């Protein structure tokens, strides 16, 4: 669960703050980060949602830190491909801002 600590630090969260967000104890976060115990699937899912990543990344199965979503094959030009690649790396709240801006221009 080394990636959990990386994510927590990257977001500037203390163990207590993350614990509050996930509705667990600070001691639980400490134990997860030090491989003393493992979180249940609901907590893992909540972590992945909060950090906009996958459970696989949190538990160290993959080095891909962004959420992996199903992709369908479409015809995109290079600008569209680059934009989508950048968009996928954003946190959920950042994606929401992009959508708000895009919607304001399309009205």
Buried b / exposed e along 33-53 (16+ C-beta atoms within 10 A): beeeeebeeebbebbbebbbb
Indicate if the pLDDT at residue 73 is higher than 70.
no
Indicate if the pLDDT at residue 93 is higher than 80.
yes
pLDDT value of residue 106: 86
pLDDT value of residue 71: 65
pLDDT in tens, 43-58: 999 999 999 999 999 9
Helix, strand and coil in the chain, % to nearest 5: 60, 0, 40
Domains along the chain with CATH numbers: 2-58 (1.10.260.40), 69-107 (no CATH)
The pLDDT-based confidence of 1 (bands split at 50, 70, 90) is confident
């Amino acid at each position: 669960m080394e990636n959990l600590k990386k994510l927590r630090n990257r977001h500037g969260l203390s163990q207590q703050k993350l614990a509050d967000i996930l509705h667990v104890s600070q001691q639980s976060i400490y134990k997860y980060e030090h491989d003393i115990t493992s979180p249940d699937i609901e907590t893992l899912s909540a972590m992945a949602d909060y950090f906009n990543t996958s459970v696989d990344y949190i538990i160290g199965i993959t080095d891909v830190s962004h959420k992996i979503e199903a992709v369908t094959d479409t015809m995109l030009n290079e600008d569209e491909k680059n934009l989508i690649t950048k968009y996928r790396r954003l946190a959920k709240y950042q994606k929401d801002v992009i959508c708000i801006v895009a919607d304001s221009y399309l009205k």
